Amino acid sequence: MTELINLAQIITSIAIVLTFIVYWRQLVALQAQVAAARDASRTQNLIAIFDYIQRPAHIEARHTLIGLRDKRLSKWRDKERLDAERACSAWDAIGVLLRNTTISGATELVVSTWGPSISKCYDAAQELMKELRSSRASDYWDEFEWLVQKCKNYDNNGKS
């Protein structure tokens, strides 16, 4: 009878070990699925940021603003000013997203890709920013400024 009890205990122990092995394999598979979902989400979020940056209205606004680099603010036409504000607001929105994101590498990717455009827009918008900061709020478009600083750090160090 004790042999039967010992055999039952051995079989039970083997069954428990096999159950743990199955659970462990399921946990490994689940971790791989979570990682794949995280990567897919990261990619989708980056695509959304890129789509926003590459909207035709934003591209046109950036071109207009950069073209105003040597023109005094008082000489800007209404459409030029509207485009300049649109460009700055777009970069500010991107700055908000990047400053508060958990997407690894997103800031570096944006800065390495659009850094020259960001910096040129910022340089061209100085007089406009000064005016709006005095009439609206001293931190107006501060995330745009943060983004420009990331561009400068990237230029100096190869990373932001």
Strand, helix or coil at 139?
Answer: coil
| 55 within 8 A of 112, measured Cβ to Cβ | no
Q: What is the DSSP letter of 73?
A: G
| Four-CA torsion 84, 87, 90, 91, nearest 10 degrees | -110
Please give the pLDDT value at position 147: 96
Measured distance CA(61)–CA(24) in Å, rounded: 54
For residue 142, with 0-12 CB atoms within 10 Å meaning exposed, 13-18 middle and 19 or more buried, which class applies? Answer: middle
Burial call 45-77: b when 16+ CB within 10 Å, e when fewer: ebeebeeebeeeebeebbebbbebeeeebeebe
Q: Is the pLDDT of residue 159 over 70?
A: no
Q: pLDDT by residue (tens digit) across 54-102? A: 999 999 999 999 999 999 999 999 999 999 999 999 999 999 999 998 7
The predicted model scores a pTM of 0.77
Q: pLDDT by residue (tens digit) across 117-127? A: 999 999 999 99
What does the domain layout of the chain look like in residue ranges?
Answer: 1-41, 54-157
